Amino acid sequence: MATFDSENAAHLHRELHSHLPSDPALRVKTLESLAIERGLVAPQTVDAWVEAYSEHIGPKRGAQVVARAWLDADFHARLLEDAAEAIKDLGFQGSATGHLKAVANTDRQHNMVVCTLCSCYPFSILGMSPSWYKSAEYRARAVREPRQVLSEFGVALADDVAVRVWDSTAELRYLVVPQRPAGTQGWSEEALAAIVTRNSMIGTQRDLPLEAS
């Protein structure tokens, strides 16, 4: 019967990691180079995925959804009723958005999304989730003390603004539709999408700037 030697396992773990750079970006580059060198992935495939998430997915798809909702009242209503179906208008669908629910901020309610069990997230329209979203601290405190967490993100809410926290699961994921900023009348969908941020669609940002960040 095979036995598990914890000291030997720890030694192997240290040995493997000693060959990787400490900087995360360098680690990723090292792993990428090794995968390409050993024929596990083609460099064109890596480039395609990087471009997809940086140029097309990122939070850009979600921003386009929000901008469309701001401009089209019918789309906005359909988005709140059945987000997974509504976003098909933009060609956005997939396993990560098959059970998507959109919730809209108002003058009297602010929405915030968390995943208390793990880190479920609609990555196909928001890109990869930020590291803080996956942290145990955010996952616990967002439910227990949402106003304090929001204040640490720079969101100051009046006492008459309610906070609703939505807990994502593998079967149901959320998209916050932020309020459209004043002074954007007459803006194009493209211009509006440029000011929508990832954090605003998670709910850790409320007021959007009139200039793209």
Phi-psi region of 29 (alpha: psi -120 to 50; beta: other; left: phi over 0): alpha
CA distance 18 to 38: 20
151 is annotated as an active-site residue: no
Q: Which is catalytic among the residues 118, 135, 151, 188? A: 118
Burial of 175 (C-beta count, 10 Å sphere; 0-12/13-18/19+): buried
* The amino acid at 135: S
33 is annotated as an active-site residue: no
CA distance 106 to 59: 21
54 is annotated as an active-site residue: no
213 is annotated as an active-site residue: no
C-alpha 134, offset from chain centre: 10
Neighbours of 132 (CB within 10 A): 14
CA distance 32 to 36: 6
Give yes or no for a contact between 122 and 175, defined as CB atoms under 8 angstroms apart. Answer: yes
Please identify every residue annotated as catalytic.
115, 118-120
